[in-house]
Amino acid sequence: MKDNKQNTAVLLMHCPDQPGIIAVITEFINANGGNILYLDQYVDKINGIFYMRVEWDLDNFGIPSEKISDYFETLYANRYGMNFKISFTKKRQRMAIFVSKMSHCLYDILARYVAGEWDVEIPLIISNHPDMKVVAEQFNIPYEIIPVNKDNKVEMEAIEFDLLDKYNIDFIVLARYMQVLSEDFIKRYPNRIINIHHSFLPAFVGAKPYHAAYDRGVKLIGATSHYVTTELDAGPIIEQDIVRITHKDTIDDLVKKGRDLEKIVLSRAVEKHIQRKILTYRNKTVVFS
């Protein structure tokens, strides 16, 4: 809801590592009147891959926004074998929240949203339960109840696809959403569905990780935000954190301590996604600072 006065372009790219790429790209931006506001790059020496994020001011940039991608592809991307995406901060991204019955992640996201912390629109909340409708109403956001389950998944997801299209949703945040998405769903939004799992993955994949953590007697519990892929809890990890527990903590204590972790770890990942600071490659993420 922040009034985004910036007018910048963000280039996210990776390509086989080779000398001179930074020079070529910064020269392209500078020569056309762009003022670089952010540049971070990383070279994966083991796999020989170069990753970069550059953001520049468009106010005096000589190439019209709608032609930048085209020019960049012709002039550089083809030549260097780049995989790239250029986006524009003038266009605010649109995010849908999927939620089931728990409110802590939902409130954390909506509180940041109305405080203007994030440059994003949240026009839609979808749930398989009516419980969180009261929260959506507090924030005046449409809340659609789609009672999806194992047996009606195809039909229910069809309704969800219509809603996501109708609201022009760019990416989806699963804020403790307790239904598994179909492969079809996941493939429509590659690297655009962010989930929070309540363990330090890869430990305790699947259901009831706090129970499993309690049974194993660990001294730390964690939370992991990741992009959803078709393999359960196995997508590219964006962010993780932990909190210390002791033998005194019951499963209820783990659930309570975990809630604070979950909401913070999920919101950190959502923020990085909104800022277009995440690149994925080979089921891993590059998260720029």
Query: Given the structure tokens 């762009």, which residue do they identify?
Result: 34
- Give the integer Cα–Cα distance in Å for 67 and 171: 24
| Residue number with CB closer to its own copies (39 or 145) | 39
Q: Which residues of the shown chain bind its own copies in the complex (CB under 8 A)?
A: 19-20, 22-23, 26-27, 30, 35-37, 39, 41-42, 44-46, 102-104, 107-108, 111-112, 114-115, 117, 138-139, 200-204, 216-220, 222, 236-242, 244, 246-248, 250-251, 256, 259-260, 264, 267, 283-287, 289
Minimal distance in Å, beta carbon 282 to its own copies? 8
Residue 33, burial from CB neighbour count under 10 angstroms (0-12, 13-18, 19+): middle
Short-list 238, 242, 245, CA closest to 268: 238
- Give the integer Cα–Cα distance in Å for 282 and 47: 10
Minimal distance in Å, beta carbon 280 to its own copies? 9
- Is 40 annotated as catalytic? no
Of 119, 151, 170, 233, the catalytic one is 233
Minimal distance in Å, beta carbon 46 to its own copies? 7
| Residue number with CB closer to its own copies (23 or 151) | 23
| Residue number with CB closer to its own copies (121 or 241) | 241
| Residue number with CB closer to its own copies (18 or 168) | 18
Q: Per-residue b/e over 37-56, b at no fewer than 16 CB within 10 Å? A: eebebeeeeeeebbbbbbbb
| Residue number with CB closer to its own copies (75 or 111) | 111
Contact between 85 and 54 under an 8 Å Cβ cutoff? The reply is no
Complete DSSP assignment for 170-211: -EEEESS--SPPPHHHHHHSTT-EEEEESSSTTTT-SS-HHH
Minimal distance in Å, beta carbon 224 to its own copies? 8
- Copy the structure tokens of residue 241: 């954190």
Q: Residue 129: CB partners within 8 Å, gap ≥ 6?
A: 100, 101, 145, 147
Minimal distance in Å, beta carbon 104 to its own copies? 7
The residues annotated with a catalytic role in the active site are: 233
